Amino acid sequence: MSKSTVEQIRERFDGDVERFSSLETGQSATMDAPLSLALIADAASRVTPGASSLLDVGCGAGNYALKILERLPNLEVTLLDLSRPMLDRAVERVKRVTTGRVTALQGDIRELQIGQSRFDVICAAAVLHHLREAEEWHSVFSKFHTSLRAGGSIWISDLVEHSDARVQALMWERYGAYLTELKDEAYRDHVFAYVAKEDSARPLMFQLDLLRSAGFNKIELLHKNSCFAAFGAIKESLPV
C-alpha cells in the first residue's frame, strides 16, 4: 500500500482542529497520552529549568506547548505544523498563556530550516511517524541536535514499531484491545486503517540510536506501553 502524501495528511488535519484542541479527544487513540504529556512537561522543566525558548514540532492545536508552559512559563514559543488551521488554533491558545513571542511556521520539518543553537526545548508528539525513509529520520534528528542550545533537551512521544514480528503482533493486539474497549471494533478498524495508510513508525531502539548518532549523549526513556513511547535526550552542555 502506498502511503499518504504530505498534502493528504495536511488535509486530514485541517478538518480535525476541534478534536485536537482537547487532549482527551485529540489524543484518545494514543495509549497513556495524558501520562506521556505530563512526563514530557515535567522532564523538560527539570532538565532545562532556565529555558527561554520552545519549538513544538507537529504542534497540532498546541496541547504540548500549553502543558510545558505550565511548568516553564512565558517561554518564546515556535509552533510548527503542516496545517494552517491547526497552527492558527495553537497560536490563539498559546498566546493566552505566555508573554513570550509566539511564532508560527507552516511546513514540513524535513524541509524547513529551524536554525542553529536556537531552542532550549524541542517537543515532537505524534508527528515523527510520518517520516518515511531512513535518511529522513537521520536528517531530522541531526536537525534537532543542531537547533538546540547546549544543555537543551528534546522530548518525543510517538507510535513505535518492534523489530521482531512476533512482538509487534503482540503489541498490536494489545493496542487493538485498547481501541475496542475505548469505543468499539469499528473504531479499532478505523484507526488501524489510517495508521496503515499514513504512518511509518520505527522501533524505539532505532530512534534512541539515532539520537546518539546525532550527537546526544544523555538519552532518557520516560514511558512505554505497547506500541507507544515517550522519550528524550539532552544536548551536552559546553565545558566551563
pLDDT tens, position by position, 128-160: 999 999 999 999 999 999 999 999 999 999 999
178 occurs within a structural domain: yes
The verdict on residue 156 lying in a domain is: yes
Query: For position 156, which CATH number holds?
Result: 3.40.50.150
pLDDT, position 224: 98
Q: Which amino acid is at 66?
A: L
Give the per-residue pLDDT at 23: 60
pLDDT tens per residue, range 67-97 = 999 999 999 999 999 999 999 999 999 999 9
Counting as low any pLDDT under 50, the low residues of the chain are: 240
* Grid coordinates of 237: 552542555
Three cell numbers written together for 40: 514530557
Question: pTM for this one?
Answer: 0.93
Is residue 1 one of the residues assigned to a domain?
no
Residue 166 placed within a domain:
yes
In a domain, 239, yes or no: no
Supply the pLDDT for residue 140.
Answer: 98
Q: How many domains does the chain have?
A: 1
Give residue 106's pLDDT.
96
What pLDDT was estimated at residue 13? 72
Domain membership of residue 240 (yes or no) is no
- 83, three cell numbers: 496545517
For position 240, what pLDDT does the model report? Answer: 47
- Checking 13-16 for CB contacts under 8 A at 24+ apart, the result is 13/60, 13/81, 13/82, 13/83, 13/85, 13/86, 14/83, 14/84, 14/85, 14/86, 16/86
Looking at residue 20, its pLDDT comes to: 66
Output the pLDDT for position 1. Answer: 64
Q: Does residue 159 lie in a domain region?
A: yes
Assigned domain for 171 exists? yes
* Domain span holding position 18: 6-234
